Structure 1
Amino acid sequence: MLSGLDHLVITVTDISRAVDFYSRVLGLEVRYRDRERVDLMLGDVALRLHWTATDVTPRAATPTPGSLDLCLRSLLPLDEVQRHLEALDVEVELGPVPRQGATGEITSLYLRDPDGNLLEISRPVKNQPS
Structure 2
Amino acid sequence: MHPTLTALDHLVLTVADFDASIAFYRDALGMKAEAFTPADGTARWALKFGAQKINLHLAGAEFEPKARCATPGSADLCFLSDVAIADWQAHFAQCGIAVEEGPVRRTGATGPILSLYLRDPDGNLIEVSNRMPG
Same fold, judged at TM 0.5 (above): yes
Q: Which moved more, 1:53-62 or 1:15-24?
A: 53-62
Q: What is residue 22 of structure 1 aligned with on the other side?
A: 25
How has the CA–CA distance of structure 1 residues 65 and 100 changed in structure 2, closer, same or farther, with 3 Å as cutoff? same
Matched, 1:98 2:105: yes
- Preserved contact between residue 29 and residue 42 of structure 1 (Cα < 8 Å): yes
Matching residue of 1:3: 6
> Normalised by the size of structure 1, how large is the TM-score?
0.92
CA contact (8 A) 1:93 1:110 kept: yes
Q: Which of these two proteins has the greater Rg computed from alpha carbons?
A: 2
Q: Kindly provide the amino acid, as one letter, of the partner of residue 101 in structure 1.
A: G
> Hey, what's the Cα distance between the residues in 2 that align with 1:93 and 1:36?
34
| C-alpha contact (below 8 Å) 2:114/2:129 kept by paired residues | yes
Deviation at 1:42, TM superposition (A): 2.0
- Report the secondary structure of 2:133's partner residue: helix
Pairing 1:13–2:16 present: yes
SS in 1 for 2:60: coil
| C-alpha distance in structure 2 between counterparts of 1:13 and 1:29, whole Å | 19
Structure 1, unaligned stretches of length 5 or more?
none
- Bigger drift between 31-40 and 101-110 goes to 31-40
Q: CA RMSD in A?
A: 1.6
2-side partners of 1:96 and 1:126: how far apart?
Answer: 16
What is the aligned length? 127
- Deviation beyond 2 Å, 4+ runs, structure 1: 33-37
Query: Within the alignment, does 1:63 sit opposite 2:70 as a pair?
Result: yes
User: Unpaired runs of 5+ in structure 2?
Assistant: none
CA offset digits 1:44-75 (Å, max 9, x no partner): 11011111122511111110110100100012
Counterpart of 1:87 in 2: which secondary structure?
A: helix
Tell me what 2:126 maps to: 119
Corresponding residue number in structure 2 for 1:83: 90
Q: TM-score, normalised by structure 2?
A: 0.89
